[in-house]
Amino acid sequence: MEIQLKHGTFVYINKMNPDEYKNGGESLTIQYNYFDCLFGQVLVANTDKGICYMAFDDDNTTALKGLKDIFPKAVYKNEKTNMQQDSLLIFTEKPKAVMLHVKGTDFQVKVWEELIKIPMSELTTYGTLAQQINNRKACRAVGSAVGDNPVSFLIPCHRVIQSSGKYGQYHWGPERKRRMIEWEKSYKM
């Protein structure tokens, strides 16, 4: 699915087919590298079809373990790619296009597509997301899909907060989530 963001960037979500991730991803070759960005150390990984993983973690081994837990039998190459570097432009300028290649259920991808539509610096709740996918009773399932997002920031799960207005938890730490939200409020593209 192709989604154009308000600032002109296109995000393309390519859902992996079962052949690409069956048997632990043994048919995949994944390139990965670590970068410094506004929010600390980030691991960015890609297949030949798009970014498949983005994780903020100051411990490189933990971030890489998270990726390898998803695709334990993939071939890994620690190398920097143009695709990785282009995806990081989201922090400094508007990239023209970001290709994602993600492993997820149809339901998860539907939730992630809704997340991508949330404009930068705006927030939503789990309940609102459930309504947007026409499944008001699915708040917990939406929360799980948000938490299972493999491409942090590019699929902006940090823009989902509790209905009370509290920012709540974040896989990469509540302080990092707060900093992301505050940065987006002050950033002008």
Pairing of strands 40-47, 50-56: antiparallel
Which of 37, 52, 139, 157 is flagged as catalytic? 157
Pairing of strands 160-161, 97-102: unpaired
Asked if 68 and 32 count as a contact pair (C-beta separation under 8 A), the reply is: no
Distance CA 56, CA 40 (A): 7
Asked if 28 and 13 count as a contact pair (C-beta separation under 8 A), the reply is: no
In the residue annotation, 139 being an active-site residue is answered as: no
> Dihedral, CA atoms, 168, 170, 174, 177, nearest 10 degrees?
-100
Q: Which of 82, 21, 23 is nearest to 51 (CA)?
A: 82
Catalytic machinery residues: 157
